[in-house]
Amino acid sequence: MFRPVYLDHNATTQLDPTVLVAMLPWLDSRFGNASSLHEYGRQARQAIDEARQKVAAAANAHPTEVVFTSGGSEANNLFLKGAAACLKPGLLAVSAVEHPCVLKPAAQLARQGWELRHLAVDGAGRVKIEDYAEVLLDKPKLLSIMLANNETGVIQDVAALANAASGTGAWFHSDAVQALGKLAIDFRALNAAGVHAMTLSAHKAGGPKGAAALILDKRVELQPLIAGGGHERGLRSGTENVPAIVGFGVAAELAAARVAELPVRMRAMQLKLESGLVGLGARIFATDARRLPNTSYFAFPNIDGETLVGKLDREGFAVASGAACSSANPEPSHVLRAMGFAPDVARGAVRVSLGTANTEAEIEQFINALQVTVGRLQGLTAVN
């Protein structure tokens, strides 16, 4: 069976074998509802409690601050819409490079009377401090700035941004979905700096799809998106997805154990990859900013990103032409547009995101395949 080399880990990761083993009993003999009082239910409740402790430990949070959701999109929506429902409409500010699952609920709130501002970023994808300072003068009620960007890998100085906002009274949220396993996450320190909520997701770090968490300062009042039986401290009703939550706990535990070593290995492969890309004439985005050690975002002049992704797939390499959740959208990357790049440049963007199983040999193979593929496409462009 043909299996392309997988270089799209910011979209999703393969389920870690250890995670799968931990999940299997909860898909078979341990099928109880965690709200039931009998032995089956008590086993499920204990498993959820243990997973909550593991996720909290990985983020240096308290277990009571972990609210399980079905995914990062739900967690982001829960914070923005849930907090907005408990406040009078006011100023909501989000960075211009947020994932659509922050931008779109923010736009919905704007249609409900909130004033929405998109925080400008510089050419490297970092929030512009001058623009941010101006927004803070207008006393925002809600702020959401991601920790690490899913396309460029750019890491925002969330602690400094939150600290600057601490005198405004705003609730500050950060989408940290891309950070788990790639960066050391310390919610306690971030919370002390002024971050009130943070989103994590299992499937970005060797866990299953269908499990995520909103790490939430208990002083923040949220209106639940889903009303019902009062699960998750009344913030997220619905029978818990025990297998996925168990898997999330194990994945978080593994990610925390590897975070000292894995980024170092990924950074070495990233440097090798980007050296090869520069040699082929690629433009690499956001190189002036601090980035995730696994993410490289680049483009070749006059080559369409989606076309290049398709050609590379046939050559045996799975990469992305932007955010996977927006891959059906033909519009150029909103992240690169916010960074000041023209639409034709943004349409050429291709992302490589490395994972735990990738090797330097695969990087060499990829560069060789890329050289041939780009050469062919450039030849076609020259003919036209």
List, by residue number, the catalytic residues: 325
Structure tokens at 101: 């699952």
Looking up tokens 């320190």, which residue turns up? 189
Residue environment code for 332-355, b if the CB has 16+ CB neighbours within 10 A, otherwise e: bbbbbbbbebeeebbbbbbbbbbb
- Three-state SS letters, the chain: CCCCEECECCCCCCCCHHHHHHHHHHHCCCCCCCCCCCHHHHHHHHHHHHHHHHHHHHHCCCHHHEEEECCHHHHHHHHHHHHHCCCCCCEEEEECCCCHHHHHHHHHHHCCCCEEEEECECCCCCECHHHHHHHHHCCCCEEECCCECCCCCEECCHHHHHHHHCCCCCEEEEECCCCECCECCCHHHHHHHCCCEEEEEHHHCCCCCCCEEEEECCCCCCCCCCCCCCCCCCCCCCCCCHHHHHHHHHHHHHHHHHCCCHHHHHHHHHHHHHHHHHHCCCEECCCCCCECCCEEEEECCCCCHHHHHHHHHHHCEECECCCHHHCCCCCCCHHHHHCCCCHHHHCCCEEEECCCCCCHHHHHHHHHHHHHHHHHHHHHHHHC
Looking up tokens 């059906």, which residue turns up? 328
169 torsion bin: left (phi>0), alpha (psi -120 to 50), beta (else): left
Task: Report the C-alpha gap between 119 and 174 in whole angstroms.
Answer: 14
